[in-house]
Amino acid sequence: MPAVSFYLPEDVLKELRAEARNRKTSVSRLIRTAVETHLDVETRKKAKADLIRALRTADLGSWDEIHEERTKESDDRS
């Protein structure tokens, strides 16, 4: 895995070290997990926005048509 270096304020680094000790892990693992989580959240937000955009532009029919279809589907389940 390639290494990346960056600077942190001393107080942040101190908190990271304390948290790493509490979790019995390394500072680099905490940072890696935080970055991966952040990227995953951003990906999910984008996917949700894309889905909402697609639903807004889709022609799903009128409420009556959708309700009729849903009711028919419920009646077919026995």
For 37-71, write each residue's pLDDT tens digit.
Answer: 999 999 999 999 999 999 889 888 888 888 888 88
pLDDT band per the 50, 70, 90 thresholds, residue 74: low
Q: Please state, for a pLDDT cut of 90, what percent of the chain lies above it.
A: 59
Could you count the other beta carbons within 10 Å of the beta carbon of residue 16? Answer: 17
At 70 the pLDDT is 82
Domain definitions of the chain by residue range? 10-76
pLDDT in tens, 1-28: 888 898 999 999 999 999 999 999 999 9
State pTM to two decimals: 0.58
Distance of alpha carbon 37 from alpha carbon 26, whole angstroms: 17
Yes or no: say if 60 and 66 are a contact pair by the CB < 8 Å rule.
Answer: yes
